[in-house]
A and B are shown apart, each in its own frame.
Chain A
């Protein structure tokens, strides 16, 4: 193989890996978009909700003994999906007890002060979750392994012996992500629940007069966003080991995706996440892997500084 061929192959490989990981990041971002993009609640603990989702899936798998009757391939994915309602309840509870105090109708269209309180409150929640998880679960790396985790599909050879391999666990995770996004998109577009969510997001005051319980809609969106991000976390964990502090890295990825996709756009958030996945994987062609995440942070900074309204979104700044 020539130098160019190697470069082409590694680029194709990075793109393929980027699309697969991007689909999972996209799902993660959609979860945040429900909370931040739609309800305008800034949640710093979103990454830690995801971390809780990963542990929930892990314990669902091991404590329920799912592999013994679902098999080692299907079991982990069922565990991930079982963790979702659990995290829905968790998100609901956090909103009910804490988030509600710093959000709601008074602060819904308030740019500054409401957001500071949310930011700092959720920072507190994040610290409790991270360190609490370390106390409960320890700092060791854990992963939800399936036989697919170390298995790959080879595509090729094509064009004089080029080949690209796709990790099976990631491929399955990416497919599940896409299915969930499509289902969610349908729910938001076509159901009463979706309509009330959109109304509550668009104009909370008017929504109240239309008989929509805005507080409840916000709670539903918050819980749903938590569950979605947690599911993405579980899907990611079939291939990536995790630890109690994993959330911090992903919270930046999630905000980068949401901002890139344009605030308020759920589908935009998915493409934002996809873009981040591609950037991350492509960066490994020229940069050492340890700097993968540093690349994402720099990318995030570039996005928010150069184009805070995102690429699909509208500018929301007012004088």
Chain B
């Protein structure tokens, strides 16, 4: 908690200075601008909560904003209910609308999500027009204006807006530092990896849209109180949704400061232009926002805050290479010819007759006509290192995707410690004890190594302290203690591989699925990683590792499973498998097989 409050000191200073400024402003129009800056900053924070942290761009935040505004105005107009009551009610309406909209719409990703979100406020706009509210204003209360949030002194609105903003800032900071915030950032950076690390992505996204919609509803309600007259177009219109996105993108996405910086710059400019030129250039505000967006996305796509921070920290702009150079196949020819399997005494002491941790039975999966995995069966006893090899396209990664729940098999069974895990979602399978790494690495680039690993630690941690403890242990196991605070974006391939390993370990898995963990590593790096994997096996972890190069694998594994065209070619001890003519054929073609 203290960390949260410490980080709020700059905001406290800002708030006090801002309020002091508002106290001396007597011009009512300037006072109005001061209020509006805070209103739009709050609305920006609402958008940021969903889109900034999860990366799902919403073009439709006007839905929640407009519902809040209409609820407040209609309740006052028809029922005489005070906005003091309607503000929290509007937040509730916004949150409910968020969940109702999120449930179907989260099935979509990327641009489909953005466009669908746009359709909601436009539909609302027509519905409210059809309901007969082309324009509606809050009745003036002469008796007891304060009870209806009506004040002659504009400074009170600025003060109220600051209270709202402060509450949202505190909420955002608390969420940022908790499991909630970590989960959202992990989803943004890589949804599949987050799911595989045990995060219930749909659940957290719904939580995010509920909070975000709630804030937007509240802000919309307050906006209607300040502005007094609303129309469907003025609260559900495109410009409202764009406003949230613009102030946040301008100031900085995914940080509490972004919307505040963005609103402080853009709102005064747009409002002043509107006031000075609005009568003969009626769309000038929109043009300014448009230009701001265009310039921004080209010059500083993540906003001023990050640009300034990167400059300040002297970080280079690139996020580091993650794509692996593919090892060349010809090397395999040599590998096969010269491999010397590990002497038996160095193998892990896995007992082949022991109770299997993982039991795969007749697993099959086709994509259209392509049979990616066909009738694959195998067992992995506790503490064993099983190597799955096969040429490119043999179905190795598909097999892993079936095992950890990314894809559903057409047929077959997968049992973990005797329990059926087939058809479960990836995060549930992770929870059940299957950890995995990826062939194409999926680091959360803007997070430190420590935080990357911590995302995985929440699977079995009851609280923050326990998560921290598990994280430390996993970092240690993977030999990453020294670089825990480095940003993942700047790591070497080897360290990224180890970081993914540590992230998987943090989920306390019983079985680890490693997808080409040695790919793209030099000889010495490869040996280092092998030593770490062996150590894990010794400590009792069961490991299944995919590779398509053999050289490193023979030094590592207890047993091989060879796949080709989705089928098991053979299974057995490394010595036997490397001499099997069918294996040589699968790797090098018939010509080599007959020569061997």
A residues whose Cβ falls under 8 Å from a Cβ of B: 42, 44, 98, 101-102, 111-112, 115-121, 123-135, 139, 244-245, 248-249, 252, 255, 259, 288, 290-291, 293-294, 297-298, 300-301, 304-305, 308, 319
Bound complex: CA A219 to CA B304 (Å): 31
Verify B119–A301 contact, CB threshold 8 A. Answer: yes
Verify B284–A135 contact, CB threshold 8 A. Answer: yes
What residues of B have a CB within 8 angstroms of the CB of A133 in the complex? 283
What residues of B have a CB within 8 angstroms of the CB of A252 in the complex? 115, 118-119, 122
Bound complex: CA A69 to CA B287 (Å): 38
Interface CB pairs A-B, < 8 A, 29: A42-B111, A98-B294, A102-B298, A112-B110, A115-B110, A116-B57, A117-B297, A118-B111, A120-B57, A120-B293, A120-B297, A121-B298, A124-B290, A124-B296, A125-B290, A127-B286, A127-B289, A129-B290, A130-B283, A132-B290, A133-B283, A135-B281, A252-B119, A291-B130, A304-B108, A305-B104, A305-B116, A308-B107, A308-B112
Known contacts: A112-B110, A119-B57. The answer to whether A244 contacts B297 by CB under 8 A is no
Verify A248–B238 contact, CB threshold 8 A. Answer: yes
In this complex, the member of A126, A127, A248 whose beta carbon has the largest number of chain B beta carbons within 10 angstroms is A127
Assuming A123-B245, A134-B283, what are 4 further A-B pairs, CB within 8 angstroms?
A125-B294, A127-B286, A133-B283, A301-B120
Bound complex: CA A132 to CA B294 (Å): 14
Known contacts: A134-B283, A297-B122. The answer to whether A255 contacts B105 by CB under 8 A is no
Contacting B297 at CB < 8 Å: which of A112, A124, A259?
Answer: A124
Verify B105–A305 contact, CB threshold 8 A. Answer: yes
Verify B115–A255 contact, CB threshold 8 A. Answer: yes
What residues of B have a CB within 8 angstroms of the CB of A300 in the complex? 116, 119
Contacting B245 at CB < 8 Å: which of A118, A120, A308?
Answer: A120
Bound complex: CA A202 to CA B160 (Å): 56
Verify B119–A127 contact, CB threshold 8 A. Answer: no
What residues of B have a CB within 8 angstroms of the CB of A127 in the complex? 238-239, 242, 286-287, 289-290, 293
Shortest 3 CB-CB distances between A and B: which pairs? A131-B283, A124-B293, A131-B286
Verify A290–B129 contact, CB threshold 8 A. Answer: yes
What residues of A have a CB within 8 angstroms of the CB of B118 in the complex? 252
Across the A-B interface, how many residue pairs have beta carbons closer than 8 Å? 139
Contacting A130 at CB < 8 Å: which of B111, B122, B284, B286?
Answer: B286
Bound complex: CA A98 to CA B297 (Å): 10
What residues of B have a CB within 8 angstroms of the CB of A118 in the complex? 111
Known contacts: A297-B119, A304-B108. The answer to whether A119 contacts B114 by CB under 8 A is yes
Known contacts: A98-B298, A131-B285, A135-B283. The answer to whether A120 contacts B249 by CB under 8 A is yes
For this complex, into which size category does the number of interface residues on chain B fall?
A: 35 or more
Verify B122–A249 contact, CB threshold 8 A. Answer: yes
Bound complex: CA A121 to CA B292 (Å): 10
Bound complex: CA A102 to CA B301 (Å): 11
Bound complex: CA A121 to CA B245 (Å): 12
Verify B298–A101 contact, CB threshold 8 A. Answer: yes
Task: Digitize B42-74: 1 where CB-to-A-CB distance is under 8 Å, 0 elsewhere.
Answer: 000000000000010101000000000000000
Contacting B294 at CB < 8 Å: which of A124, A134, A259?
Answer: A124
Known contacts: A134-B282, A319-B406. The answer to whether A293 contacts B122 by CB under 8 A is yes
B residues 184-243 touching A (CB-CB < 8 Å): 192, 238-239, 242
What residues of A have a CB within 8 angstroms of the CB of B245 in the complex? 120, 123
B291 at the binding interface (Cβ < 8 Å)? yes
In this complex, the member of A120, A248, A259 whose beta carbon has the largest number of chain B beta carbons within 10 angstroms is A120
Bound complex: CA A249 to CA B401 (Å): 41
**In the complex, which residue of chain B has the Cβ closest to the Cβ of A120?**
B297
What residues of A have a CB within 8 angstroms of the CB of B127 in the complex? 291, 294
Bound complex: CA A131 to CA B282 (Å): 8
Bound complex: CA A111 to CA B59 (Å): 18
B25 at the binding interface (Cβ < 8 Å)? no
B residues 226-279 touching A (CB-CB < 8 Å): 238-239, 242, 245, 249
What residues of A have a CB within 8 angstroms of the CB of B238 in the complex? 127, 130, 245, 248
**Minimum Cβ distance to chain B for residue A260 (Å):** 13
Known contacts: A115-B110, A319-B407. The answer to whether A132 contacts B287 by CB under 8 A is yes
What residues of B have a CB within 8 angstroms of the CB of A44 in the complex? 115
What residues of B have a CB within 8 angstroms of the CB of A301 in the complex? 104-105, 116, 119-120
Task: Digitize B397-421: 1 where CB-to-A-CB distance is under 8 Å, 0 elsewhere.
Answer: 0000100001100000000000000
Verify A304–B57 contact, CB threshold 8 A. Answer: no
B123 at the binding interface (Cβ < 8 Å)? yes
B126 at the binding interface (Cβ < 8 Å)? yes
**In the complex, which residue of chain A has the Cβ closest to the Cβ of B292?**
A124
Bound complex: CA A123 to CA B60 (Å): 13
What residues of B have a CB within 8 angstroms of the CB of A288 in the complex? 130
Verify A111–B110 contact, CB threshold 8 A. Answer: yes
Bound complex: CA A135 to CA B107 (Å): 39
What residues of B have a CB within 8 angstroms of the CB of A117 in the complex? 297, 301
Bound complex: CA A290 to CA B126 (Å): 7
What residues of A have a CB within 8 angstroms of the CB of B192 in the complex? 319
Known contacts: A120-B249, A123-B293. The answer to whether A135 contacts B282 by CB under 8 A is yes
Verify B284–A293 contact, CB threshold 8 A. Answer: no
In this complex, the member of A115, A124, A125 whose beta carbon has the largest number of chain B beta carbons within 10 angstroms is A124
**In the complex, which residue of chain A has the Cβ closest to the Cβ of B401?**
A319
What residues of B have a CB within 8 angstroms of the CB of A294 in the complex? 122-123, 126-127, 130
In this complex, the member of B59, B111, B238, B282 whose beta carbon has the largest number of chain A beta carbons within 10 angstroms is B111
In this complex, the member of A102, A252, A288 whose beta carbon has the largest number of chain B beta carbons within 10 angstroms is A252
**Minimum Cβ distance to chain A for residue B595 (Å):** 34
Bound complex: CA A121 to CA B281 (Å): 23
Verify A308–B108 contact, CB threshold 8 A. Answer: yes
Bound complex: CA A44 to CA B284 (Å): 20
Bound complex: CA A280 to CA B294 (Å): 34
**In the complex, which residue of chain A has the Cβ closest to the Cβ of B125?**
A294
Contacting B107 at CB < 8 Å: which of A101, A112, A305?
Answer: A305
Bound complex: CA A244 to CA B129 (Å): 19
What residues of A have a CB within 8 angstroms of the CB of B282 in the complex? 134-135, 139
Bound complex: CA A58 to CA B343 (Å): 85
**Minimum Cβ distance to chain B for residue A308 (Å):** 6
What residues of B have a CB within 8 angstroms of the CB of A248 in the complex? 122, 238
Verify B249–A119 contact, CB threshold 8 A. Answer: no
Bound complex: CA A193 to CA B109 (Å): 33
Verify B123–A124 contact, CB threshold 8 A. Answer: no
Bound complex: CA A133 to CA B281 (Å): 10
**In the complex, which residue of chain B has the Cβ closest to the Cβ of A249?**
B122
Known contacts: A116-B110, A300-B116, A304-B116. The answer to whether A128 contacts B290 by CB under 8 A is yes
What residues of B have a CB within 8 angstroms of the CB of A249 in the complex? 122
What residues of A have a CB within 8 angstroms of the CB of B119 in the complex? 252, 297-298, 300-301
Bound complex: CA A248 to CA B298 (Å): 24
Bound complex: CA A101 to CA B296 (Å): 12
Bound complex: CA A304 to CA B115 (Å): 10
What residues of A have a CB within 8 angstroms of the CB of B123 in the complex? 294, 297-298
Bound complex: CA A294 to CA B126 (Å): 6
**In the complex, which residue of chain A has the Cβ closest to the Cβ of B59?**
A123
**Minimum Cβ distance to chain A for residue B398 (Å):** 9
**Minimum Cβ distance to chain A for residue B105 (Å):** 7
Bound complex: CA A119 to CA B111 (Å): 7
